[in-house]
Amino acid sequence: MSYMETLTKVKKGQISPVYLLYGTESYFIHNLEKMISSKVLQGEQENLSVYDLEEVSIQEVIGDVETYPFFGEKKLVIANNPVFLKARPDKVAAEHDLGELERYLDAPVDYSVLILTAPYEKFDERKKISKLLKKNAEVAICNPIKEYEVPKWINELSKQLHITIAEDAYEILETELSSNLQLLESELGKLALFVGENGTVTREIAEQLVSHTSDASSLRLVDAVIERNLAKAISIYKDLEKMKEEPIALIGLLSFQFRTILRVKLLKMKGYSQAQMQKQLGVHPYVIKIAVSREKQFSIEGLKAIINELATADARMKQGGMEKGLAFELLLYQLIHPLKKA
């Protein structure tokens, strides 16, 4: 079952006695744990137990699950890292008697909820215990979202926060936050505080308030070059400088972006689809999407000239011929002004 399907059932109060949350998206796992905890414990944190199955045996965990709660009506037991679900289990301190878990899955108690959290991309479904979990427990897949799902999640989270995202602000959020849901939730929360309930997040507000990553800022630098906006390019560079980004590292980021645009342009001329480009270049699908939207602004010769200019600036900085910050600002000037002449 998907994360969203499981979350919907939990919100409705449909709580299962046993859950298996598996996948590498920690945001999903933690969010389900939090939601299940609020429904089961209702504030009675004394009835929460957390174990690490690399250190504690499953039979000890089951013993706790079957012990009646001292306070409140129900208890919640979370057992992390069920290594016995892996095809090749890691060597751990605990010795697990899976017969105890199998017995419990056949007849779980009604006063406890057990959550097994497996931060693995997948588990070995051929094992007897895995088949029993799939049959008798609620199994939620918690793997990272795909690039094309990011707008849906922006919509979902903004609805929960009772704010509206302007259409032209989506690109800022997608570019800066990509598929990092934890960061996306944090940044949207910050935007919600700024605009207030039922407020609208415009592109200008998003540009002003969203925390910038170095990779995303290099994309904004590319945009500034395309727009022939030197003031904007210098402003973005100053932001990156505050993030302790070295000018030589920034040249590397810019070189990567422009080389990707050139390679995408050449592949497009050969009739490659975006999916084929992504497979050929081995980069994130969103990087391909952005490069496809930018390649029309450049000729092949123009891109090669920019890449050569970046290589020259890189060599100049490494030779120490000029102060690095000044050299980078001069580079931005040289990248933008040839486009003006063209």
Q: Express each pLDDT in 17-41 by its tens digit.
A: 999 999 988 889 999 999 999 999 8
pLDDT of residue 342: 37
Average pLDDT of the residues of the chain: 86
The conformation of residue 211, written as its DSSP 8-state character, comes to P
pLDDT band at 341 (very low <50, low <70, confident <90, very high): very low
Task: Say yes or no: domain 214-341 is CATH 1.20.272.10.
Answer: yes
CATH topology for 147-209? Answer: Helicase, Ruva Protein; domain 3 (1.10.8)
Domain ranges of the chain: 3-141, 147-209, 214-341
Alpha helices for the chain (secondary structure H):
3-11, 26-41, 58-65, 98-106, 128-136, 150-160, 170-177, 181-195, 203-209, 214-227, 230-242, 247-269, 274-281, 285-295, 300-319, 324-341
Strand, coil or helix: 66: coil
Residue 250 has pLDDT above 80, yes or no: yes
Number of neighbouring beta carbons within 10 Å of residue 316: 16
CA distance 329 to 234: 7
Residue 340 has pLDDT above 50, yes or no: no
Q: How far is residue 159 from each of residues 5, 162, 165, 189, 200, measured CA to CA in Å?
A: 17, 5, 10, 11, 12
Superfamily of domain 3-141, CATH level 4? P-loop containing nucleotide triphosphate hydrolases (3.40.50.300)
Residues 234/329, Cβ–Cβ less than 8 Å: yes
Question: Above pLDDT 70, what percent of the chain?
Answer: 94
pLDDT band at 169 (very low <50, low <70, confident <90, very high): confident
The single-letter code of the amino acid at 106 is D
User: In sequence order, what DSSP letters do the residues of 224-283 get, joined into one string?
Assistant: HHHHT-HHHHHHHHHHHHHTT--HHHHHHHHHHHHHHHHHHHHHHHTT--HHHHHHHHT-
CA distance 117 to 150: 24
The conformation of residue 149, written as its DSSP 8-state character, comes to G
Residue 1 has pLDDT above 70, yes or no: yes
Residue 132 has pLDDT above 80, yes or no: yes
CA distance 255 to 311: 8
